[in-house]
Amino acid sequence: MTEVVKGLEHLHLTDMQEVLIFVSDIHLSPDASTSEDASGFLKTLEQSMPVDCSRLFILGDLFETWVGDDVLTRSRDALRLALTSMRARGNKGLKFYLMHGNRDFLIGERLCRELDAQWISDSFILECFGQRAGLCHGDAMCIDDLDYQHFRQQVRAADWQKAFLNKPLGEREAIAQGLRHQSERSKQEKSMAIMDVNTQAVHEFVANQGIETLIHGHTHRPGRHNASFTRWVLPDWDLARKRGGWLRWDRTGLTSQGPFGAWA
Ligand code: LP5
Ligand code: MN
């Protein structure tokens, strides 16, 4: 199995005026538009994300599934316009960063270029305000979920991905839909504990990277966990259930915010 190449792995920022925003698990459906978007994220980008944001980090699962950059969807256009509108409304130098999640790990350079976004690696190190934070999607730390980890290893291999991307679009969409159904079914048989991050894996990552803060999503269990370091778990987005939000990091610290108020 060949490994896939990695995105940008580290960023060191020195400007105390930075305003960093983190989101994940938006799960945009292919036909989403600003007026019809079950996540509520597109409207939030256009209307309520802080105008002083200098960098927006999307930490995986932006899309419900992504079966290749050659697939043109309504949500893709809507997202590009919403990001452009956020930049026009606020900071003109606003930068976007995109990380792979377990549903959209096939996002490639073409989409990043189109969205004017920088692709960043899972396990990204961000230094700002004299502190060091680690960013990841979160699924790689769910090591007790052995079936998932086996599946992950398979589909993250370059040769698997190449074979998949060479299939006709209809076939790719059918496989993705089959995997989604299988995933929903298999989750019903797994305990909450198995589907959470493994404490030891988290501690090892924090110690190896020497970070004070860890930010991730994936588990859909938003919160703030304090130990010798702080672990923030980002919420998933669902307008009907009034779920969603972002983490803001500026010189005064980290705060949970969103269209429905604080979530941690
Ligand atoms: O996503 P979510 O929250 O429902 O559950 C995840 C884990 N599930 C997944 C699967 C995704 O939902 C669907 C992926 C769509 C990808 C589209 C591109 C396809 C490209 C394929 C080839 C390159 O990630 C779920 C975890 C849960 O998080 C909590 O952490 O438990 O894990 C599973 O459900 C996996 C099952 O346990 C095992 C599935 C075995 C499937 C075997 C198929 C063999 C591979 C076929 C590949 C074409
Ligand atoms: Mn996920």
133-191: pLDDT as tens digits:
999 999 999 999 999 999 999 999 999 999 999 999 999 999 999 999 999 999 999 99
Contact 98, 59 (CB under 8 A): no
Q: What is the pLDDT of residue 5?
A: 76
Q: What is the pLDDT of residue 69?
A: 97
Q: Side-chain half-sphere of 79: how many Cα atoms within 13 Å?
A: 25
- Nearest CA among 27, 5, 51 for reference residue 176: 27
What b/e sequence results for 48-68 when a residue is b if at least 16 CB atoms lie within 10 Å of its CB, and e otherwise?
ebbeebbbbbbbbbbbbbbbb
Contact 211, 229 (CB under 8 A): yes
Q: Which ligand is nearest to the CA of 60?
A: 2
Q: What is the pLDDT of residue 3?
A: 64
80-105: pLDDT as tens digits:
999 999 999 999 999 999 999 999 99
Q: CA geometry: angle at 98 spanning 240 and 78, to 5°?
A: 50
Cα 215 to averaged position of ligand 1 atoms, centre (Å)? 22
Distance of CA 22 to the CA centre of its chain: 8
What does the alpha-carbon distance between residue 196 and residue 139 come to, in Å, rounded to a whole number? 9
What percentage of the chain exceeds 90 in pLDDT? 98
- pLDDT band of residue 2 (cuts 50, 70, 90) is low
Task: Return residues with CB closer than 5 A to ligand 2 (ion).
Answer: 61, 101-102, 218
pLDDT of 29 > 70? The answer is yes
pLDDT of 251 > 90? The answer is yes
Nearest CA to ligand 1 atom 10: 183
Cα 4 to averaged position of ligand 2 atoms, centre (Å)? 19
pLDDT of 125 > 70? The answer is yes
**pTM for this entry:** 0.97
Ligand 1-lining residues (CB < 6 angstroms): 65, 67, 102-103, 106, 139, 142, 145, 147-148, 151, 154-155, 160-161, 164, 175-176, 179-180, 182-184, 186-187, 190, 195
What does the alpha-carbon distance between residue 72 and residue 208 come to, in Å, rounded to a whole number? 40
Q: What is the pLDDT of residue 91?
A: 95
Mean of the per-residue pLDDT values of the chain: 97
Q: Side-chain half-sphere of 18: how many Cα atoms within 13 Å?
A: 21
